[in-house]
């Protein structure tokens, strides 16, 4: 308006014609003084009017946003109600027909959003939807196959130094001998493929044995006498009638991921671990699972509609080849995949994701983990890449759209804060100017105020406010935290909440004055991410992999927790629905499989490798990586006894069925035998079994507790009389022994589980069901395989289930065969599978 006035004044100076101005402005008299005074008055009025209009527009924008949020809440609630109705109808139909229902899912008829799926598969309540087998990369329904126009010019990336090699899992030391591997971004990347052709097994009917080959080494396995005559090596094994359904996932990935915890309007908390996204309804204690990914998930974003979710994964390898990093966009109600973005475009992994806010969430920004950390913006519904640019050659920790301008993206990371403007297919960078403020080493998080200001938290413990539309600091809160600020969250009521390395959760008013502060206990670890819950509730994800729930003026309690380092030990209680896990975080945890709650946890002095319950269930033995083993009371978790055998890791700890002996397999090639008394509370060493030329990997006892069978790292199968620590070499003695358990991967009854071309280290764990009808294995490619038992036909077929993103280090059935449990090594997850 002032520009118009200026033009008017100039016109009057150059012409004697009267000026005509729109609005409230009136023509001034001819005198110069009047013209100057009128101009000053009008300028002042114009500025005041302009400020009033700006404030009114901002107020209207806030009201519109609130109304849109309310509409999305209603849509989400309606979608959840329909899902539950469908579930109820399906269960009723199943009950009345005793067969699968053919009722058409109601969700398909709802005009919430155009669907790209031909149908909706709804998970059963409490059963953890998503099933067992991973959806194909193409998703479900009629998703387009293209991932952005091929002809579009792409950013020339800096050489990533063969990133697949960087991600490959490297065995350390003596390969599987150490049972420990170097870390990587993609923990499912085993760095090997089973593609070498191996010799087919040979059946000798006269001697009654099958000889198979692993890495060219012959392994002779004698069969029970009564099976020799009817055995045919060429016969085909049958798939088991039973299947697995993911029931519960224990754990959360907070140690190295950010902005991965949200509350959906349906009451479900959404987060991820390994390659599974968990949707956890805390009030109803129910989990559903999205299992569309094939390797570690590293980032997650929720669409403004609170239904659509985007998740990004790392690169890796599988038994079939390389797994490329990509983004999956999916429906949180149906768990159907809607779109897959960036296959072949992204490098290494995805580290940041965010949906736009102001244009209906039509665009998605993504940052990958390449050397240049390429920032790209996508029209995700068309799977079209709108723009990409090299973001930074340093780490990028956060990326987000401006809430009222979908053409602005803010990124932050090591030594940088960038404001990107999307115009004409290009992203133009404007660097944040710290000026007099000391530049922090890391800008760790970003959020936005109601007025559009950007707010950042950094490694110096400062909160900086950046004026809307500018790249300059408008306000500083020095020393907001002691140490790094990892998370910022703007609540609906305009309160800012910050959390960081000092474990303090601090709330701030609109003038950035502290309202209150609360400190979470040290055992939970520093605060990694913050999300707004229902009412006054706040959700926190920590670096020690806890999800906490509480209020700013109250106590925080864990709703999800898990391990914080590589996980190997697993033992199931002999007559209760309990299981125990332990790992390199020195943490021993006892879980209830029915309530999915932690019963107790105990911190050890050494990293734990193996565990085994006494048949009475009164005590449990724990083997460590240092050669020390100890026994704990399962009720009180008190220490019963401690012993040391050798100075190498103890790979397997197993009691005899009668509870009178304990066998401990070590990496020093010996099996140590102890006599057990007083219901597992007294131990005396009998001796050690010597004969293996490599480390002990697996042990099983005979039903009568008289014999022991062992496998080693060089594929030996040896038999023992543990009471005298003598090896049994008589085939006639050992071939008909009935085994109380079957955890050894080498043996006639299980040799069919080995895939073609295996190098002998692919299978980490084996477990036979208690009713002796099923066999489950965990492999190096993050897969759980379900076979029929006995599994004594070459290349037996199996049902295959994904979810883990690391080597599946252990598997075991619960005492009643209702469920089985698997542990995920470096992904630190524990997964419970229901047998259906």
Domain regions of the chain by residue span? 2-100, 564-835
pLDDT value at residue 759: 84
Q: What is the pLDDT of residue 44?
A: 53
Say whether 49 sits in a helix, a strand or coil. Answer: helix
pLDDT bin (cut points 50, 70, 90) of residue 93 is low
Residues 331, 270 contacting (CB under 8 angstroms): no
Mean local confidence (pLDDT), 272-294: 97
Best CA proximity match to 445, nearest among 527, 371, 375: 527
Instruction: Check pLDDT > 70 for residue 185.
Output: no
Give the pLDDT of residue 158.
Answer: 56
Which pLDDT belongs to residue 84? Answer: 73
Q: How many helices (H) and strands (E) does the chain have?
A: 5, 57
Report the C-alpha gap between 626 and 609 in whole angstroms.
Answer: 9
Range of lowest pLDDT (49-63, 378-392, 412-426, 776-790): 49-63
Residues found in the chain: 836
User: Can you tell me the distance from the alpha carbon of 617 to that of 578, in angstroms, rounded to the nearest whole number?
Assistant: 10
Token output for 749: 């009854």
2-14 and 32-97 are packed helices; what angle lies between their axes, rounded to 10 degrees? Answer: 150
- pLDDT of 182 above 60: no
Mean pLDDT of the chain: 85
Residue 202: CB atoms within 10 Å: 13
- Model confidence band, residue 157 (pLDDT cutoffs 50, 70, 90): low
Alpha carbon 260 to its chain centroid, in Å, reads: 9
Among the listed residues 776, 694, 706, the one whose alpha carbon sits nearest the alpha carbon of residue 742: 776
Question: Is residue 740 within 8 Å of 700, Cβ to Cβ?
Answer: yes
Q: Which CATH superfamily is domain 564-835 in?
A: YVTN repeat-like/Quinoprotein amine dehydrogenase (2.130.10.10)
CB 738 within 8 A of CB 749: no
Residue in the block written with tokens 């090594």: 825
Q: Specify the pLDDT at position 124.
A: 36
pLDDT digits 0-9 by tens, 626-657: 999 999 999 999 999 999 999 999 999 999 99
Average the pLDDT over 811-818 and give the result.
98
User: ω into residue 31 within 30 of 0, thus cis?
Assistant: no
Local structure of 64: helix, strand or coil: helix
pLDDT of residue 58: 65
Q: What is the pLDDT of residue 821?
A: 99
Q: Which residues contact 114 (CB under 8 A, 6 or more apart)?
A: none
pLDDT at 86: 73
Q: So what's the pLDDT on residue 78?
A: 78
> What average pLDDT score do residues 474-489 get?
98
Residue 785 confidence class, pLDDT cut points 50, 70, 90: very high
Name the pLDDT band for 551 (thresholds 50, 70, 90): very high
Question: CA angle at residue 115 from 110 to 119, to 5 degrees?
Answer: 85
Nearest-angstrom CA–CA distance, 199 and 777: 22
The whole-number average pLDDT for the span 804-808 is 96
Least confident of 132-146, 360-374, 389-403, 626-640: 132-146
DSSP SS3 for 32: helix
pLDDT of residue 174: 39
Is pLDDT of 41 > 70? no
What's 625's DSSP letter?
T
pTM comes to 0.81
pLDDT tens per residue across span 206-242: 999 999 999 889 999 999 999 999 999 999 999 999 9
Q: Which pLDDT tens digit goes with each residue over 102-127?
A: 333 333 333 333 333 333 333 333 33
Distance CA 591, CA 208 (A): 44
Highest mean pLDDT among 28-42, 101-115, 800-814: 800-814
pLDDT in tens, 699-737: 999 999 999 999 999 999 999 999 999 999 999 999 999
pLDDT value, residue 141: 39
pLDDT digits 0-9 by tens, 318-370: 777 788 999 999 999 999 999 999 999 999 999 999 999 999 999 999 999 99
Rounded CA separation 774/512 (Å): 61
Binned at pLDDT 50, 70 and 90, residue 317 comes out as confident
């Amino acid at each position: 308006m002032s520009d118009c006035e200026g033009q008017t004044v100039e016109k009057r100076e150059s012409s004697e014609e009267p000026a005509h101005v729109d609005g409230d402005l009136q023509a001034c008299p001819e005198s110069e003084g009047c013209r100057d005074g009128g101009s000053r008055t009008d300028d002042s009025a114009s500025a005041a009017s302009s400020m009033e209009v700006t404030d009114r527009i901002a107020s209207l924008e806030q009201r519109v946003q609130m109304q849109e949020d309310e509409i999305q809440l209603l849509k989400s609630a309606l979608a959840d109600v329909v899902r539950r109705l469908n579930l109820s109808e399906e269960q009723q139909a199943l009950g009345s027909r005793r067969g699968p229902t053919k009722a058409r899912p109601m969700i398909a008829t709802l005009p919430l959003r155009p669907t790209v799926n031909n149908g909706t598969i709804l998970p059963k309540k409490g059963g953890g939807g998503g099933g067992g087998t991973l959806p194909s990369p193409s998703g479900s329904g009629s998703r387009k196959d293209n991932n952005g126009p091929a002809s579009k010019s792409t950013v020339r990336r800096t050489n990533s130094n063969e990133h697949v090699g960087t991600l490959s899992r490297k065995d350390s030391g003596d390969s599987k001998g150490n049972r420990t591997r170097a870390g990587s971004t993609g923990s499912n990347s085993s760095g090997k493929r089973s593609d070498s052709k191996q010799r087919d097994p040979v059946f000798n009917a006269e001697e009654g044995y099958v000889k198979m080959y692993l890495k060219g080494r012959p392994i002779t396995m004698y069969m029970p006498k009564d099976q020799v005559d009817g055995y045919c090596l060429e016969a085909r094994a049958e798939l088991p009638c039973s299947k697995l359904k993911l029931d519960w996932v224990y754990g959360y990935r907070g140690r190295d991921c950010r902005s991965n915890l949200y509350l959906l309007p349906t009451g479900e908390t959404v987060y991820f671990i390994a390659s599974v996204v968990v949707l956890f309804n805390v009030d109803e204690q129910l989990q559903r699972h999205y299992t569309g990914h094939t390797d570690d998930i590293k980032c997650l974003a929720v669409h403004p509609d609170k239904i659509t979710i985007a998740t990004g994964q790392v690169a890796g390898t599988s038994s079939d080849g390389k797994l490329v990093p990509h983004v999956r966009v999916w429906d949180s109600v149906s768990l159907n995949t809607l779109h897959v973005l960036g296959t072949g475009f992204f490098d290494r992994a995805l580290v940041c994701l965010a949906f736009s806010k102001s244009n209906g969430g039509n665009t998605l920004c993504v940052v990958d983990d390449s050397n240049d950390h390429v920032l790209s913006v996508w029209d995700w519904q068309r799977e079209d890449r709108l723009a990409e640019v090299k973001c930074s050659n340093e780490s990028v920790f956060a990326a987000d759209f401006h809430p009222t301008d979908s053409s602005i993206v803010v990124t932050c990371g090591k030594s940088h804060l960038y404001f990107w403007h999307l115009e004409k297919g290009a992203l133009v960078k404007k660097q944040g100017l710290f000026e007099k403020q000391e530049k922090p080493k890391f800008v760790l998080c970003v959020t936005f105020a109601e007025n559009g200001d950007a707010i950042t938290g950094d490694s110096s413990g400062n909160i900086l406010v950046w004026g809307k539309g500018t790249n300059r600091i408008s306000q500083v809160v020095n020393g907001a935290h002691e140490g790094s600020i990892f998370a910022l969250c703007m609540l609906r009521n305009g309160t800012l909440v910050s959390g960081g390395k000092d474990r303090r959760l601090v709330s701030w008013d609109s003038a950035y004055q502290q309202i209150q502060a609360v400190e979470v206990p040290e055992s939970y670890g520093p605060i990694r991410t913050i999300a707004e819950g229902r009412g006054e509730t706040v959700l926190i994800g920590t670096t020690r992999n806890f999800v906490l729930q509480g209020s700013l003026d109250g106590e925080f309690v864990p709703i999800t927790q898990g391990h914080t380092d590589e996980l190997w030990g697993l033992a199931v209680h002999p007559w209760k629905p309990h299981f125990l896990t332990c790992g390199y975080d020195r943490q021993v945890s006892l879980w209830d499989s029915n309530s999915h709650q932690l019963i107790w946890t105990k911190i050890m002095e050494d990293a734990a490798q193996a565990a085994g319950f006494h048949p009475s269930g009164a005590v449990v033995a724990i083997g460590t990586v240092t050669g020390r083993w100890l026994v704990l009371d399962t009720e009180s978790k008190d220490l019963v006894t401690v012993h040391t055998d050798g100075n190498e890791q103890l790979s397997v700890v197993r009691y005899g069925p009668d509870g009178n002996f304990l066998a401990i397999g070590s990496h020093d090639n010996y099996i140590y035998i102890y006599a057990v008394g007083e219901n597992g509370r007294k131990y005396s060493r009998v001796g050690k079994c010597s004969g293996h030329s490599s480390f002990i990997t697996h042990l099983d006892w005979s039903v009568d507790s008289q014999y022991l069978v062992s496998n080693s790292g060089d594929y030996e199968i040896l038999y023992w009389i543990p009471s005298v620590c003598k090896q049994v070499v008589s085939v006639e003695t050992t071939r008909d022994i009935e085994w109380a358990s079957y955890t050894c991967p080498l043996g006639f009854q299980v040799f069919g589980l080995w895939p073609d071309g295996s190098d002998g280290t692919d299978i980490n764990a084996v477990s036979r069901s208690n009713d002796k009808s099923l066999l489950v294995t965990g492999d190096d490619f993050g897969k759980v395989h379900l076979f029929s038992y006995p599994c004594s036909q070459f290349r037996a077929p199996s049902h295959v289930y994904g979810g883990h993103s690391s080597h599946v280090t252990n598997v075991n059935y619960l005492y009643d065969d209702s469920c089985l449990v698997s542990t995920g090594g470096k992904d630190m997850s524990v997964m419970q599978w229901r047998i259906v």
